[in-house]
Amino acid sequence: MTTHYLVLSALLFAIGGVGVLVRRNAIVVFMCVELMLNACNLAFVTFARQNGNLDGQLIAFFVMIVAAAEVVIGLAIIVTIFRTRRSASVDDVSLLKY
């Protein structure tokens, strides 16, 4: 019965992974990362339901908190990059400097 949820989770994760690999826009890459995180969350919650305990739900909360913190820092970096380079392409910052 939980198989559908897991399949959905895998699909969402794969979409997110492909998005991270093929998109250049930092914002989109970022959103794809969030998609992967949420795919994981869905899997955790599904397993929690399947096993009948709260461990998976607990981990899902942790992931959300970490994701929120990550969004704060990540968006700040992206905004700074955009301000200096007038572009949000991840390929433009390949030199890891300036």
Residues that bind another protein (CB under 8 A): 17, 20-22, 24, 29, 90-91, 93-96
Q: CB within 8 A of 50, min separation 6: which ones? A: 2
- The nearest distance, CB 95 to another protein, in angstroms, is 6
For another protein, the closer CB: 29 or 35: 29
- The nearest distance, CB 91 to another protein, in angstroms, is 6
For another protein, the closer CB: 55 or 92: 92
- The nearest distance, CB 17 to another protein, in angstroms, is 6
Token digits of residue 8: 């959905």
Which regions of the chain does DSSP assign to beta strands (E)? none
For another protein, the closer CB: 29 or 37: 29
Whether the CB-CB separation of 81 and 88 falls below 8 Å is answered with: yes
Distance CA(77)–CA(83), nearest Å, equals: 10
